[in-house]
Structure 1
Amino acid sequence: MTYFQAIILGIFQGISEFLPISSSGHLVVLQRIFGIKEGNLFFTEMLHFGTLISIFVVFFNDIIKIIVEFFKMIGQGIKNKKFKITNIYQKMAILIIVGSIPTAIIGLLFQDTFEKLYSSLLSISVAFIITGFILWIVDKKSRGHKKVKNMSYVDSLVIGTFQGIAIIPGISRSGSTIAGGLFRGLDRNLATEYSFLLALPATFGAALLGIKDVVETGSEVYFSLPLITGVIISAIVGIVSLRLLIKLLQNKKLHYFSYYLWALGIFLLIYQLF
């Protein structure tokens, strides 16, 4: 892995992980059409930790409060033999746990099925177009005002299901979960924040399982300067991309990505005819 490859892949990971355009789908397209290789498997999994850092940086204060309040709730529950949610940070912690359940179930049950779709450029093309329609509809039609205190556990289960379905290449994880939140009536700020807080356990768990697979399959596992460079680049670009997405969503410009995804999906469908 060269420095140039590490930088390019780090930039790609940082952009596509957060903007609602599907990093997995774009990776397949780049590999197929332009012959770009992502590098060894260990490098790939480490890049995900770079984008995890991005989420921690952007939502650092909220994440710390959620962790502290969650353990405070557990401590008070053990002491008083009764668990009670007393603030929005404790509730957000429970909502993240509940939302992670359908994601984990879908991932474990259908992982092999979804992985087969990575070899089908046709299915990815269609998924891009579907994602475009999802983004356009929710950006134009959503009028939600729910805050954390108004969120139900059904809301978190629905959004978690959207995240699980986004394992399909071409379906954006961030786009799907934000859309799920907007469909359920969350306001735009909460839909964005919950989307990325919900990504933390899913992305961290997937990365750990990926590294476990790397070790079990005997792939190369070593830390190098290009690898560290790629992780740092993915984290920095991820921070910029995440903040850009928040701004676009607040200004009701999420549908901009729809036009791009429609054009890309149609181009890929035509490309396969020649």
Structure 2
Amino acid sequence: MSILEVMIIAIVQGLTEFLPVSSSGHMVLTEALFGLKVPGITFEIALHFGTFMSVLLVFRKEITRILVSFFTKIWKIRQIPRNYREDEWFRMALLVLLSMIPAMLAGLFLRDFIEGLFDSTKSVGIALIFTGLLLFITQWAPRVQKPLKGWNVLFMGIFQALAMIPGISRSGSTISAGLLAGVDREKIAKFSFIMALPLIVGATILEIPEIKGGSQISLFNISFGMLVAFFTGIVALKWLIKILMRGRLASFSYYCVLLGFITVALS
């Protein structure tokens, strides 16, 4: 694989991982339309690690506070209810754990079905249309400033599980769910990406045993792709946050719907 092909795949991954247009769907389409296939599980893990580090860098302060609060207070079992009420960062840590439940259940019981969808560009197109419609209706989301609570976090978690389907954007679906639930935009911007981190780690760990023998791509290309995904991810993250705070998330809906119809038509 040439360095240009590595760069294209890494840029697609870095941008679409965070922009509400579905990274999995775009990777399937990149392979189907341009013949650019991710060369092995090692390279795929490297790309995910690059975008994972993007989130760690952009939200480093929040993540540090969450981890410190969680690991210093979770051992005090009797004080958990009080700490949940009084400590914002401890509460967010528990809410992140709650948000993981739907995706974990989906991965446990529907993994084979979901993996089968990656072979169908038509299903990706339909899922992209769904993503576009979901983004479009956020224009009518309630203009309230509700805090993050168990029920709306679980609602976001259900949409995060739904986003395991290629073509459904994880960031787009969870942010849309939060907006429709009336959660404060600034809180959604942070929580939507932080809640994905444990799942990214878990998915990566599950992929490691699938590495067999030597890599199909050089160490230089793997490292280069990871760095491109990392820096592209930072740009995409900051851009999306600005768009969300301006209330213009629905602008991505036209792209998703158009691409979805084109994909279905060409399938």
TM-score computed with the length of structure 2 as normaliser? 0.93
**Secondary structure of the corresponding residue to residue 18 of structure 1:** coil
Aligned residues: 264
Equivalent position SS for 2:166: coil
Q: Secondary structure at the match of 2:127?
A: helix
Task: Determine the structure 1 residue equivalent to 2:105.
Answer: 105
Q: How does 1:18-33 map to 2 (within 5 A)?
A: 18-33=18-33
Q: Does 2:251 correspond to 1:268?
A: no
Partners of 2:5 and 2:36 within 8 A in 1: no
Task: Check the 8 A contact 2:141/2:180 in 1, yes or no.
Answer: no
Contact 1:41 1:219 (8 Å CA) reproduced: no
Residue in 1 that maps onto 2:177 = 180
Question: Do 1:18 and 1:238's aligned partners in 2 also have CA atoms closer than 8 Å?
Answer: yes
Q: How does 1:1-274 map to 2 (within 5 A)?
A: 1-75=1-75, 77=76, 81-83=78-80, 84-85=82-83, 86-147=86-147, 151-215=148-212, 218=213, 220=215, 224-272=219-267
- Mean alpha-carbon deviation: is it higher for 234-243 or for 97-106? 97-106
Deviations 1:63-112 (A, max 9, x none): 0011111112124x16xx54231310010000001111111111121111
Alpha-carbon contact 1:134-1:179 (below 8 Å) kept: yes
In the alignment, is the contact (CA less than 8 A) between 2:70 and 2:93 conserved in 1?
A: yes
Could you tell me how far apart the structure 2 residues matched to 1:91 and 1:66 are? 9
CA change 1:219–1:129 in 2 (3 A) is farther
Q: Is the 8 A contact 2:156 2:177 kept in 1?
A: yes
Work out whether residues 39 and 216 of structure 2, in 8 Å CA contact, stay in contact via their aligned partners in 1. no
Spell out, residue by residue over 1:147-185, the C-alpha distance to the aligned partner (whole angstroms, 9 max, x if none). 3xxx22122222111111101011000001111111221
Of all paired residues, the percent bearing the same amino acid is 38
Taking the aligned partners of 2:261 and 2:102, their CA distance within structure 1 comes to: 31
Gap regions ≥5 residues in structure 2: none
Q: Is the CA contact 2:12–2:26 (under 8 Å) kept in the aligned structure 1? A: no
Find the residue that maps to 1:119 and give its secondary structure: coil
With normalisation by structure 1, the TM-score equals 0.91
Measure how far apart 1:9 and its partner are.
1.8
Rounded Cα–Cα distance in structure 2 between residues aligned with 1:246 and 1:186: 15
Q: Which moved more, 1:192-201 or 1:133-142?
A: 133-142
Instruction: Output the CA distance in 1 between the equivalents of 2:125 and 2:149.
Output: 34
Consecutive unaligned residues in structure 1, runs of 5 or more:
none
CA contact (8 A) 1:46 1:207 kept: no
CA contact (8 A) 1:42 1:220 kept: yes
Bigger shift: residues 166-175 or 154-163: 154-163
What letter is aligned with 2:258? Answer: A
Seen in structure 2, the aligned counterparts of structure 1 residues 65 and 117 have a Cα distance that, compared at 3 Å, is same
- 1:175 and 1:219 map into 2 onto residues whose CA distance is 36
Runs of 4+ in 1 over 6 A off after TM superposition: none
Query: What is the CA–CA distance in structure 2 between the aligned matches of 1:198 and 1:221, rounded to whole Å?
Result: 32
Counterpart AA for 2:115: E
Deviates more, 1:106-115 or 1:137-146: 137-146
